[in-house]
């Protein structure tokens, strides 16, 4: 295998990976930086798909404390409070840098200041945006800045596994695969950053880009990283119903609901009056998504097992001006968002759980930094809309700074050639099998299994069934084969085998953690334990790989070092409203 040496290796080119590369380079332009992206830089991943915007405290009537408390309350109080505080306190300087240095131009209010709009679950309108195309602006401008610097970019190149040093004490790079050529090669790095995103595509109805299959999480798991609260998977309430189209499950962002769009069931009832009469459609994502799901399951949905989102009363001109991206998306399926109600359903969107990190993006593995959706702890049990791209940019920025410092401190550590060769042969195994399991059938089963047994509403017996079946599917995918055995170039069947192997790896952690948490909190709802149990379950659930690819699980009390749960009650938000 070819071996490439570099100071910093970054896996992923979304908001987190891009900002990490920019900050590392600007810290020291002499550093050798390689960024590998599974797709095309600036054109793939989920940061580009962000519609709503980025939460940040800019108005003098707002405060970091309000944003922080909103984040904790939305997260069911199991957030890592240091991570959450870093998120909100670093957001203002991050947005300033995005505008002044990166070149993002956020929408302006009439007074010339950055416009901030309403998002669900927040006590103040603090979401900065570019109409409903915020992600395109952020990713495009950061990509421009990458091209203006001497940063090496490997497009259509995916990570296969992380490499350990000879003494097995640190991560020293990764084994990569060039999708275009099929070549497998080594990048030996002083510091490795994983920022590849989550794996909500494990569900049959999902919002992420199709290439987001938990690759980084799975690589970190196999390398021995510790994960936190993997049961917490967010379902966005309003995914577009589009049949078998690739648009099925794509988001109609909550800025619509923040502006006054309403939800109706198939009977024409505004059903959020039943579930959250105070906040209605502006309730948190977990509540709205679960309410939509329960209406559908109760037989009050549409004939397509959906509910209706109606923005027509806001006025066609307003909707077309403020939400042009969504108007065009809906038009692609023959509907008019500005003038008629549109069918929507909950859609798997985001993972709050992930690799456990500190505020410097460091995990339990030396030499490895993790940022963005690959990490857990910041959002607790539920992420507020607008805190996602905020996390990506805040912690991508942080990871770049830390990586630059570590790259100057560390020497290049060698790895075992035998380790690299073992990884290479493992992933080439599908080419060596003349027959076996069909990867596409396995992926379809995973998506149905996770939706039905580990989705919005869970119970112990279904989760146990899912865990057992996932163990079987892990064995089945090991027997998957490539029909076109003599072509590695753009062999999508082979790449799907890699994707599905990673998906199963992450699914097992999600189900294992969901079985453990015998209560309902945030995005995790157990119909056999429907109440939130703050006495017994104000805990974080940690897990990592044990012997034989088994899962080792531990529980630890949430560290309430800044605010206690009792200090963040509804009366706080009532005072904010009155003020």
Q: How far apart are CA 119 and CA 461, in angstroms?
A: 36
Phi, psi at 4, each rounded to 5° = -115, 135
Task: Report how far apart, in Å, the C-alpha atoms of 486 and of each of 428, 437, 483 are.
Answer: 12, 18, 9
DSSP 166-224: TTSSBEEEEEEEETTT--EEEEEEEEEEE-----GGGSSSB-S-TT-SSHHHHHHHHHT
CB atoms within 10 A of CB 267: 11
Q: Which residues pair with 188 in a beta bridge?
A: 5, 173
State the Cα–Cα distance between residues 553 and 255, nearest whole angstrom: 38
For residue 16, how many other CB atoms are within 10 A of its CB?
35
Q: How is residue 1 written in tokens?
A: 């295998």
Please say whether the beta carbons of 14 and 399 come within 8 A: no
Q: 532's torsion region: left (phi>0), alpha (psi -120 to 50) or beta? A: beta
Cβ atoms of 213 and 477 closer than 8 Å: no
* Per-residue DSSP letter, 163: E
The answer to whether 36 and 71 have CB atoms below 8 angstroms apart is no
- Which of 23, 126, 257, 285 does the annotation list as catalytic? 285
285 in catalytic set:
yes
Output the CA torsion 72→452→227→476 (10° steps). -170
SS (H, E, C) 492-557: HHHHHHHHHHHHHHHHHHHHHHHHHCCCCECCECECCECCCCHHHHCEEEEEEECHHHCEEEEEEE
- Spatial neighbors of 79 by CB under 8 A, at least 6 apart, are 71, 72, 377, 378, 379, 380, 558
- Six token digits for residue 570: 């509804």
- Helix (H, G, I), strand (E, B), or coil: what is residue 473? helix
- DSSP for 47-104, written as a single string: GGG--S-EE---STTS-HHHHHHHHHHHTTT-S-HHHHHHHHHHHHHHHHHIIIII--
* Contact indicator for 210, 225 with CB cutoff of 8 Å: no
Taking the C-alpha atoms of residue 9 and residue 193, their distance in angstroms, rounded to an integer, is 6
Cβ atoms 463, 453 nearer than 8 A: yes
Helix axis angle, 15-27 to 388-409, nearest 10°: 40
The residues carrying an active-site annotation are 285
């Amino acid at each position: 295998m070819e071996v490439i040496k570099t100071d910093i290796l970054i896996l992923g080119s979304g908001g987190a990976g891009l900002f990490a590369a920019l900050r590392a380079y600007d810290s020291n332009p002499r550093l050798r930086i390689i960024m590998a992206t599974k797709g095309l830089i600036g054109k793939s991943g989920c940061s580009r798909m962000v519609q709503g915007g980025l939460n940040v405290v800019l108005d003098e009537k707002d405060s970091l404390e309000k944003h922080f408390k909103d984040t904790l309350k939305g997260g069911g109080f199991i957030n890592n409070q240091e991570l959450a505080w870093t998120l909100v306190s670093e957001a203002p300087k991050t947005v300033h840098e995005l505008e002044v240095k990166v070149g993002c131009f956020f929408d302006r209010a009439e007074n010339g200041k950055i416009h901030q709009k309403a998002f669900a679950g927040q006590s103040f309108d603090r979401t900065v945006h570019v109409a409903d195309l915020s992600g395109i602006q952020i990713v495009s401008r950061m990509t421009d800045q990458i091209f203006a610097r001497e940063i090496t970019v490997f497009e259509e190149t995916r990570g296969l596994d992380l490499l350990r040093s000879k003494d097995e004490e640190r991560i020293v790079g990764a084994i990569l695969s060039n999708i275009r050529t099929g070549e497998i090669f080594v990048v030996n790095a002083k510091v490795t950053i994983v920022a590849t995103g989550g794996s909500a595509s494990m569900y049959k109805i999902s919002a992420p880009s199709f290439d987001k299959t938990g690759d980084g999480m799975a690589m970190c798991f196999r390398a021995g990283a510790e994960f936190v609260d993997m049961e917490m998977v967010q379902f966005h309430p309003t995914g577009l119903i589009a049949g078998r189209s690739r648009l099925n499950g794509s988001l109609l962002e909550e800025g619509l609901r923040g502006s006054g769009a309403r939800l109706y069931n198939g009977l024409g009832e505004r059903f959020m009056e039943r579930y959250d009469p105070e906040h209605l459609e502006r309730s948190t994502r977990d509540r709205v998504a679960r309410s939509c799901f329960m209406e559908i399951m109760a037989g009050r949905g549409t004939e397509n097992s959906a509910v209706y989102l109606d923005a027509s009363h806001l006025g066609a001109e307003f909707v077309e001006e403020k939400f042009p991206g969504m108007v065009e998306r809906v038009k692609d399926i023959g509907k008019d968002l500005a003038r008629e109600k549109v069918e929507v359903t909950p859609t798997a969107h985001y993972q709050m759980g992930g690799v456990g990190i500190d505020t410097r993006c460091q995990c339990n593995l030396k030499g490895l930094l993790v940022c963005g959706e690959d990490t857990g702890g910041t959002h607790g049990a539920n992420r507020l809309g607008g805190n996602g791209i905020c996390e990506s940019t805040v912690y991508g920025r942080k990871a770049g700074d830390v990586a630059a410092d570590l790259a100057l401190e560390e020497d290049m550590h060698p790895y075992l050639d035998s380790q690299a060769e073992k990884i290479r042969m493992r992933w080439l195994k599908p080419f060596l099998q003349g027959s076996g399991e069909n990867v596409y059938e396995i992926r379809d089963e995973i998506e149905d299994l996770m939706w039905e047994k580990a989705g919005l509403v869970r119970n112990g017996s279904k989760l146990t069934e899912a865990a057992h079946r996932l163990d079987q599917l892990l064995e089945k995918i090991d027997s998957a084969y490539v029909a076109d055995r003599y072509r590695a170039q753009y062999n999508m069947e082979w790449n799907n085998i890699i994707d599905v192997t990673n998906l199963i790896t992450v699914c097992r952690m999600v189900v294992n953690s969901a079985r453990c948490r015998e209560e309902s909190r945030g995005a995790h709802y157990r119909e056999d334990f429907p109440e939130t149990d703050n006495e017994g379950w104000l805990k974080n659930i940690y897990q990592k790989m044990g012997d034989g690819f088994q899962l080792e699980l531990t529980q630890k009390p949430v560290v309430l070092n800044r605010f206690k749960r009792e200090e963040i009650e509804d009366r706080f938000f009532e005072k904010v409203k009155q003020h």
